[in-house]
Amino acid sequence: MKQIDAEILKIEPVAKDIFRLTLKAPDIAEAAAPGQFVMIRPVSGFDPLLPRPFSLHDWSEKQGTIVILFRVVGKGTGILAQSRHGRKLQVVGPLGKGFDITSAESVCLVGGGIGIAPLLGLAKRLPEADAYNEIAVLLGGASGEELAPLAECLDIPGLAVRLATDDGTLGHHGVVTDLMENHMTRDRDWLVLSCGPMPMLKAVAHLCRKNGWPCQVSLESVMACGMGVCLGCAVKSPAGNGHEGYLHVCKDGPVFWESDVAW
Amino acid sequence: MVRGKPDLEIKIGGLVLKNPVLTASGTFGYGREFASLVDPADLGAVVVKGISLEPRSGNPPPRIVETPCGMLNAIGLENVGVEKFVSEKLPFLRENGVCVIVNILGDSVEEYGRLAEILDNAPGIHAIEVNISCPNVKQGGVAFGLDPEAARAVTAEVRKKCSLPVIIKLSPNVTDITSIARAAEDGGADGVSLINTLQGMAIDIQTRKPRLANVIGGLSGPAIRPVALRMVWQTAKAVSVPVLGVGGITTPEDALEFLIAGASAVQIGTGNFINPRATIQVIEGIEKYLIEHDMNSIHDLIGSLNG
Ligand SMILES: Cc1cc2nc3c(=O)[nH]c(=O)nc-3n(C[C@H](O)[C@H](O)[C@H](O)COP(=O)(O)OP(=O)(O)OC[C@H]3O[C@@H](n4cnc5c(N)ncnc54)[C@H](O)[C@@H]3O)c2cc1C
Ligand SMILES: Cc1cc2nc3c(=O)[nH]c(=O)nc-3n(C[C@H](O)[C@H](O)[C@H](O)COP(=O)(O)O)c2cc1C
Ligand code: FES
């Protein structure tokens, strides 16, 4: 974990309210793993006060850069979106526990909305595709307008991306769990790796439980420190799994086995 | 003429701190979490997260919410309990030469005494800080820190049960903080630290629900700094033991204000979240200020407020 004043190399609009931010951060790029995050302080003053957590969308050890994909939802992200290249931002990372991709026969990446952010860095770093029977990428969103530019961010040669939208304007008319049911054949040992809004993750976890698919989810929570000291990012854990009631998103996660979360 | 570095050492009871910059309880974990960014041995001391006799799991989420230049927290004193603290958290601090101050909390005078006794026998602890902002369960649930008599009783009990320096951490949610500070001094405190968080609240106007599951939380950060500074100034005049200033300190300039107002040392809390290297930058900034102002010792600065 490092704290650096990272220079903005590039900030590009990807779609309405969605931006891709490239930062010079060699020490973080070098240590990064899929699913980990960084804490970025949008201002050097006190309003907003706290740094904001963002998943690592991608990074390059060779170029010494990290990339964040973010949606403008409030003050901090609004300020980030208006930053220009050359400005320096306080960045701490890489933080947290990422995806565990050690053992699987086939993997299914499931993303929703801006939750697709960590899936790029993950997809690029899965062991060689022929180590798996299949790598499936299933994405969901509200509309084609929202989802199309996000899906483009995941455009990796050799990866087939399947889409579902709530309003049917792109891909399957329905939710991402429909795609899972249609696509994930029973004859394979699947590992599901998922990131998105809480209701989606809940539905994904539920479906995986029903089908016996092991599943990891990347959770969000309000954070103050991002490094396991404020204990503000608690999520309930089921009784009797040894976590004394709560897990902490920043240090026990943000990626958890679905079975460790009390849905 | 080449001058030596200014002397930053301060004393609390029999304890000598190499510099006057400490971490505030609950904002630096057990010291290890920050170790790749800050060497905890470089700090005056690390005040660890509040410890109780039994582990506590804390409040349901949401536990924190940001407010203008501050944050509210209702963590609910989640902690690993004294046994696990001593066996799992303390060895790292001891082996790395960290000056460790253990913050304790309890439901009754006896519980505080029991904690002091256990910690007195654990090697590697340099002082105890007593969080008296907790409800006195046996006495109707009013916090010890709101009643001079209860504050004196807790202090005296902890004093009796251990040989370590005892610091009493004061609650600002009182009419006259100096009366509580004097009660702590009467009870045998070697120092007082202030302030703990100010009680506050925030509401989501869309859902009309409180933003914290616990409804009420403790306000910290730059927003509370002027209140903390005022209370530190008043308290430093009212007691003869060292005062540790806490509340909204994030920069060297903030810390200097507290020292000038009469604090012998400062603690950095929420500042660690905003800038994890705040403590180190504050130490460097204080040193630089002393050099620039031709002061050989931090003691030339402490309480030097001009009328
Ligand atoms: C581990 C982790 C990884 C994340 N990765 C990304 C990412 O890759 N891309 C991205 O766009 N966002 C990501 N987020 C969410 C991001 O941190 C928040 O959107 C951001 O903090 C909002 O800051 P703000 O100042 O703009 O909003 P604020 O002004 O603070 O709040 C505006 C609104 O957003 C909500 N909000 C605030 N913080 C969060 C949060 N942590 N999660 C969900 N809602 C929140 C508030 O309740 C409020 O309604 C991640 C969060 C976590 C915990
Ligand atoms: C997340 C959080 C947890 C805290 N936990 C404790 C605690 O366990 N014991 C205690 O005495 N004070 C605790 N405090 C209070 C701080 O130590 C400090 O007194 C207060 O936050 C004011 O200082 P600051 O503005 O620098 O944060 C906590 C504060 C925060 C923000
Ligand atoms: S954000 Fe502070 S403990 Fe997780």
> pLDDT, tens digit, for every residue of A12-65?
999 999 999 999 999 999 999 999 999 999 999 999 999 999 999 999 999 999
Which sign, positive or negative, has the C-alpha torsion A199, A200, A206, A207? positive
Distance, CA of B5 to CA of B21 (rounded, Å): 16
Give dist(CA A221, CA B217) in Å, integer. 18
**H-type alpha helices, chain A:** 26-31, 75-81, 117-124, 144-152, 176-183, 198-211
Please check the confidence at residue A157 and state whether its pLDDT lies above 90: no
Predicted pLDDT of residue A233: 98
Q: How confident is the model at residue B1 (pLDDT cuts 50, 70, 90)?
A: very low
Nearest residue to B162 via CA among B141, B188, B139, B142: B188
- Ligand 3 neighbour A231 (Cβ under 6 A): yes
Q: Could you tell me where the DSSP H helices lie in chain B?
A: 82-84, 90-95, 109-120, 148-161, 177-186, 225-238, 252-261, 271-274, 278-292
d(CA B293, CA B7): 13
Q: Are A186 and A161 in contact, with CB atoms under 8 Å apart?
A: no
Q: What is the pLDDT of residue A87?
A: 96
Catalytic annotation present for B69: no
Q: Of the given ranges (A103-112, A124-133, B93-102), which has the lowest mean pLDDT?
A: A124-133
Separation in Å, CA of B3 to nearest CA in chain A: 32
Angle value at C-alpha A39, between A259 and A111, nearest 5 degrees: 45
pLDDT for the residue numbered A101: 85
Structure tokens at A93: 């990372």
Per-residue pLDDT reduced to its tens digit, A124-133: 988 776 677 7
Listed by start position, the domains of chain A span 2-95, 106-219
A127-136, B81-90, B153-162: least confidently modelled range:
A127-136
Active-site option among B69, B99, B134, B162: B134
For B222, nearest residue in chain A (alpha carbons): A46
Among the listed residues A37, A40, A26, the one whose alpha carbon sits nearest the alpha carbon of residue A80: A40
CATH architecture for segment(s) A2-95: Beta Barrel (2.40)
CB A248 near ligand 1, within 6 Å? no
Does residue A212 carry a pLDDT above 60?
yes
Average pLDDT estimate for A234-244: 78
Would you place residue A244 in the very low, low, confident or very high pLDDT band (cuts 50, 70, 90)?
low
Tokens for A35? 């699913």
**Number of other residues whose CB lies within 10 A of the CB of residue A26:** 18
Q: Which of A46, A222, A244 is facing B222, going by the closest CB pair? A: A46
pLDDT tens digits for range B30-68: 999 999 999 999 999 999 999 999 999 999 999 999 999
**Contact by Cβ (8 Å): A44, A76:** no
In chain B the domains, ranked by start, together with CATH numbers, are: 10-59+77-199+219-300 (3.20.20.70)
d(CA A54, CA A67): 10
Same fold? A2-95, A106-219: no
3-class DSSP assignment, residue B51:
strand
Q: Which residue of B has its CA nearest to A96?
A: B33
Token pair of A95 as six digits: 């933080």
Q: Is A256 helix (H, G, I), strand (E, B) or coil?
A: strand
Which CATH architecture is the domain A106-219 placed in?
Answer: 3-Layer(aba) Sandwich (3.40)
| Rounded distance between C-alpha atoms, residue A234 and residue A249, angstroms | 6
Q: Rounded to the nearest whole angstrom, what is the distance from the C-alpha of residue B279 to the centroid of ligand 1? A: 27
Structure tokens at B301: 């600065």
Q: Which residues pair with A163 in a beta bridge?
A: A139
Contacts of A223 in chain B (CB under 8 A): 64
Those residues whose C-beta lies under 8 Å from the C-beta of residue A191, and which sit 6 or more positions away, are A101, A103, A104, A105, A106, A107, A108, A213, A214, A215, A216
One-letter identity of residue A244 = E
β partners of residue B192: B168, B243
Give dist(CA B164, CA B45) in Å, integer: 14
Strand partners, A54: A38
Which element (helix H / strand E) includes B267?
strand B265-268
How far is the C-alpha of B110 from the C-alpha of B112, rounded, in Å?
5
Average of per-residue pLDDT values in chain B: 95
**B37–A3 C-beta distance less than 8 A:** yes
Partners of residue B68 in chain A, C-beta under 8 Å: 47
Ligand 3 contact via A73 beta carbon (within 6 Å)? no
CA of B285 relative to ligand 1 center, distance in Å: 33
Say whether A51 and B69 touch across the interface (CB within 8 A).
no
Please report which confidence band the pLDDT of residue B283 belongs to, taking 50, 70 and 90 as the band edges.
Answer: very high
CA of B173 to the centre of ligand 2 (A): 14
Rounded-to-integer distance, Cα A68 and Cα A19, Å: 8
Residue A133's pLDDT is what?
76
CB A263 within 8 A of CB A206: yes
